[in-house]
Structures are given as structure tokens and as C-alpha cells.
């Protein structure tokens, strides 16, 4: 593919084959938060995995920083229709965070400082599909984008990528989170345009 076709007329929004249906290319990095930006001091930061039987495993910021990190370049797709391609992040994979966690749960509810929640099936967090990211574009993650650390689940709409992530709750039965309760799709696959319940 060497030819760039802009097409004629219509909206001056770029649509590209690597964009899911209905999405346009954003050149900036919009900030979408349902509430105020929580400021989480690093000496009080923790990430906690809670299993379906209530067993907990936590990492302080210092412990989390010592875990093996990965640099990943991924595309972001927001349900409000902007996408951002080739974004560069550094973070710890959920494979690493869940390596020693014993569970037979199939579902997770992701928790964030400030009370935001979102549900993601456990298998969608494993096998190199999700990270707790703390750098964006080589810099510490800015607070408005979820710093000190946010979940990154790029194959689902971006509302699943909880900013200011505080933990993961493993569940044997699915539980909707903040936007899912409000009528957004339970799963949120951008390629199947699963924006709202019933899509």
C-alpha cells in the first residue's frame, strides 16, 4: 500500500484501514475522566490483586518498579470515536502480576483510585494483552492520563483501561463496572463496534 487516498468531500477526518469501524484519527491525546484527577502519592501507592476467596497480593510502588517491565506500542480506541495509533508505553504485564496468583476465576473487576471500576474477562488480561503502565512516550505517566499507573488493555475500548488503577478483583461471576452499569457494552470490542449494550 503506497498510495494515500484522501477521498472527496465529507468530513475532514482521516479514516484508515487500521482504524476500527466508526473511528477517526486523533492527533492529540484527549483526556476523558468521569471525575476529578486523584493525586496518589507514590509512598502510599499500592496495586492489589484479590482472588475470589479473598486472598490478597499487593505491591508497593518500590516493589512494582522492580518487576520486569515491557515496552509496548499499541493503538488506542475510545468509544467517543477517536483513535490514536502507535502509542508507546512502558509497564508490567498482567501475566507478570498474576503469575503467582492462584485462581479459577474467569472474570475480573478492575478498581481505580477515585472509585472507577470496569470489568474485563480474565483471559483478556493474559497472554500479553494487558499491562499496568507507568510511562507514556518515555516519560512518567501524567496524572490526567492515569499516572502514576493505569491499566492498558488496548484491544478493548479505552474505557476498560482504568486510569489510577489500584487493583484487580478476581470473580467467578461477571460484575459490570462504572460505564457498563451506565449502558455501555459489557465487553467493548472496537472491531465489532461494541459500544453500547445490545451492539
184 binds Mo ion (CB under 5 A): no
Residue 164, interface with ligand MTE (CB under 6 A)? Answer: yes
Q: Is 42 in the site for Mo ion (CB under 5 A)?
A: no
Name the one range near ligand MTE by CB under 6 A: 1-9, 26-34, 59-67, 100-108: 26-34
Residue from 151, 63, 68, 65 nearest 113 by CA: 151
Residue among 31, 32, 55, 126 that touches Mo ion (CB under 5 A): 32
Distance of CA 187 to the CA centre of its chain: 13
Long-range contacts of 191-198 (CB under 8 A, 24+ apart): 191/20, 191/21, 193/20, 193/21, 193/22, 194/157, 195/79, 195/157
- The piece of 1-9, 52-60, 124-132, 156-164 that touches ligand MTE (CB under 6 A) is 156-164
Task: Give the span between the Cα atoms of 98 and 95, in whole angstroms.
Answer: 5
Residues 84-143 interacting with ligand MTE (rule: CB under 6 A): 112, 114, 116
Stretch of 30-38, 43-51, 120-128, 168-176 lying at the interface with ligand MTE (CB under 6 A): 30-38
Q: Which helix (H) or strand (E) holds 48?
A: strand 46-50
Q: Which three cell numbers stand for residue 158?
A: 479505552
* Residue 125 interface partner, choices ligand MTE, Mo ion, none, CB cut-off 5-8 Å depending on type: none
Applying CB under 5 A, which residues contact Mo ion? 32, 78-79, 159
Amino acid at each position: 500500500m503506497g498510495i494515500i487516498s484522501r477521498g472527496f468531500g465529507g468530513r475532514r477526518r482521516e479514516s484508515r484501514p487500521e482504524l476500527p469501524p466508526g473511528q477517526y484519527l486523533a492527533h492529540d491525546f484527549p483526556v476523558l475522566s468521569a471525575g476529578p484527577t486523584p493525586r496518589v502519592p507514590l509512598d502510599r501507592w499500592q496495586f492489589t490483586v484479590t482472588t475470589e476467596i479473598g486472598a490478597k497480593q499487593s505491591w508497593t510502588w518500590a516493589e512494582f518498579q522492580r518487576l520486569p517491565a515491557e515496552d509496548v506500542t499499541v493503538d488506542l480506541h475510545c468509544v467517543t470515536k477517536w483513535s490514536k495509533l502507535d502509542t508507546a508505553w512502558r509497564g508490567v504485564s498482567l501475566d507478570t502480576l498474576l503469575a503467582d496468583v492462584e485462581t479459577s476465576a474467569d472474570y475480573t473487576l478492575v478498581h481505580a483510585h477515585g472509585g472507577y471500576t470496569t470489568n474485563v474477562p480474565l483471559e483478556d488480561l493474559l497472554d500479553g494483552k494487558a499491562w499496568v503502565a507507568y510511562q507514556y512516550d518515555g516519560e512518567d505517566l501524567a496524572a490526567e492520563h492515569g499516572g502514576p499507573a493505569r491499566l492498558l488493555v488496548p484491544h478493548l475500548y479505552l474505557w476498560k483501561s482504568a486510569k489510577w488503577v489500584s487493583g484487580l478483583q478476581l470473580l467467578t461471576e461477571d460484575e459490570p463496572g462504572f460505564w457498563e452499569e451506565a449502558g455501555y457494552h459489557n465487553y467493548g470490542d472496537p472491531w465489532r463496534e461494541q459500544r453500547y449494550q445490545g451492539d
